[in-house]
Amino acid sequence: MDRFYTSPELADALVGLTTPRRRALAIADFACGEGSLLLAAERRWPAASMIANDVSAASIASLRKSRPKWQVAGSDFLNPRSVRASSLRHHFGGVDLVLLNPPFSRRNRQTFEVAVGDEVLHASIAMAFVVNSIPFLRPDGAILAVLPDGCLVSKHDEPVWRSLRKQFNVEVIRDNSRSAFQGVRARTCLVRMTKLNARVSVAEQVAAPFAPTISRGRVQMHSRKVVTPRQGRPLVHTNNLLNGTVTNSGEHVQGAVLSGPALLFPRVGLVTPGKLCVLGAGRRVTLSDCVLGVACESEADVDTLRRMVLAAWPVFASAYRGTGAPYITLERASMVLSNISAGGRSLVNELPSEALA
Ligand SMILES: C[S@@+](CC[C@H](N)C(=O)[O-])C[C@H]1O[C@@H](n2cnc3c(N)ncnc32)[C@H](O)[C@@H]1O
């Protein structure tokens, strides 16, 4: 996806995801190509100053000609020395809005060293563009990005997202059609990252935000190998999630073990309140690849989490998307559960018990 430029429609949709408060806006795209994203921003905020960067000398030369008012740089954004040597160095801490459709392709699965807060991590190329943009943001700045689904769910980028979520509210706003980019079929989505409010409320100080650790099952049902109870653990598939409890499939398989107490729910398919199931303390199971599980410290915690999700059911259910069978990604599940638990603490206490049955 190195050279797949964003269509004006998709670029307009992306810039429509924010309403910056400042009047004199500085907007940047550090992999700008032909400038589609900045052009969309210019249509929306004609007075904003535009900062464009791309490693391609041809793209830069053409933009310098066609957009003489833009501040155009030609750095390699993955190379800090190149960035510091370019005119981008004048914009650290001064950008209100970063727009990105970074290169996606991961030739040789190459990763890039990035610094998030005080951690040094390794990121995919798309993720590295996101992380390297952060030092340019103003304290209330935001990032809007077209990202490959892979970047949101890959094991590799998971620690980077975890770290980013300490500083940002990360929202996957929508899935793009697979034909959004001419000449390639790619799963992509629009992501909005806004800085977490510097003002910390009293409630947040006493109760740290819930950052769920979600396990995804790996056993594929069509190729599962059933073993004896002594050789494996009970298999849990979506049809074992019934009326809030985890039923026995009668099959045992080998694979990663999830221990209760935990909250299980489907990753794929129709999700109903009854499919939100409690795995009791002490039960040790192996999940099919259609099931997700959140391990909790106590049964009381699982119960509270289940109540919160039920209380915010439309929000949770809307995180299942997709053109075919609806599905939820690990990233979306983590975000929706964090959001629900952040907003739901007081709700749970107020709910009548019949609403939770
Ligand atoms: C997928 S295109 C997107 C272009 C534009 N943002 C858009 O949405 O149409 C990615 C762009 O990243 C640029 N690029 C690739 N590697 C880069 C790097 N290391 N530093 C800066 N730009 C890079 C490519 O030249 C290409 O123009």
For residue 101 and ligand 1, the question of a CB distance below 6 A is answered with yes
Distance in angstroms (rounded) separating the CA atoms of residues 219 and 332 = 21
Q: What are phi and psi of 321, to 5 degrees?
A: -140, 180
Q: Are residues 166 and 94 in the same domain?
A: yes
Residues in Cβ contact with 20 at an 8 Å cutoff, skipping those fewer than 6 apart: 45, 96, 97, 142
Of 92, 156, 96, 162, the C-alpha closest to 125 is 156
Per the structure, the count of domains in the chain is 2
Q: Are residues 332 and 222 in the same domain?
A: yes
Q: How far is the CA of 46 from the centre of ligand 1 (A)?
A: 23
> Pick from 199, 233, 250: which residue ends a domain?
199
> Pick from 138, 172, 199: which residue ends a domain?
199
For residue 105 and ligand 1, the question of a CB distance below 6 A is answered with no
CATH code for the domain in which residue 331 is found: 3.90.220.20
For residue 181 and ligand 1, the question of a CB distance below 6 A is answered with no
DSSP symbols for 23-79: SS-EEEETT-TT-HHHHHHHHH-TTSEEEEE-S-HHHHHHHHHH-TTSEEE---TT-
Q: How far is the CA of 131 from the centre of ligand 1 (A)?
A: 15
Q: Are residues 161 and 274 in the same domain?
A: no
For residue 55 and ligand 1, the question of a CB distance below 6 A is answered with yes
Note the pLDDT tens digit of each residue in 42-58. Answer: 999 999 999 999 999 99
Would you state the structure tokens that stand for residue 201, as one six-digit string?
């409320």
Distance in angstroms (rounded) separating the CA atoms of residues 267 and 90 = 45
For residue 59 and ligand 1, the question of a CB distance below 6 A is answered with yes
Q: Are residues 47 and 162 in the same domain?
A: yes
Q: Are residues 104 and 228 in the same domain?
A: no
Q: Are residues 128 and 251 in the same domain?
A: no
Establish if 1 belongs to a structural domain: no
Q: Are residues 173 and 226 in the same domain?
A: no
Residues in Cβ contact with 139 at an 8 Å cutoff, skipping those fewer than 6 apart: 195, 198
* pLDDT of amino acid 211: 62
Establish if 143 belongs to a structural domain: yes
Establish if 184 belongs to a structural domain: yes
For residue 133 and ligand 1, the question of a CB distance below 6 A is answered with no
For residue 6 and ligand 1, the question of a CB distance below 6 A is answered with yes
* pLDDT of amino acid 108: 57
Q: Are residues 172 and 269 in the same domain?
A: no
Q: How far is the CA of 1 from the centre of ligand 1 (A)?
A: 9
Q: Are residues 52 and 132 in the same domain?
A: yes
Q: Which residue's CA is minimally distant from atom 17 of ligand 1?
A: 55
For residue 124 and ligand 1, the question of a CB distance below 6 A is answered with no
List the chain residues with pLDDT less than 70: 1-3, 106-108, 178-180, 182-185, 197-212, 323, 342-357
Q: How far is the CA of 164 from the centre of ligand 1 (A)?
A: 22
> Pick from 151, 166, 199: which residue ends a domain?
199
* pLDDT of amino acid 199: 36
Note the pLDDT tens digit of each residue in 99-131. Answer: 999 998 766 578 898 888 778 889 999 999 999
**Domain interval for residue 174:** 8-199
CB atoms within 10 A of CB 242: 12
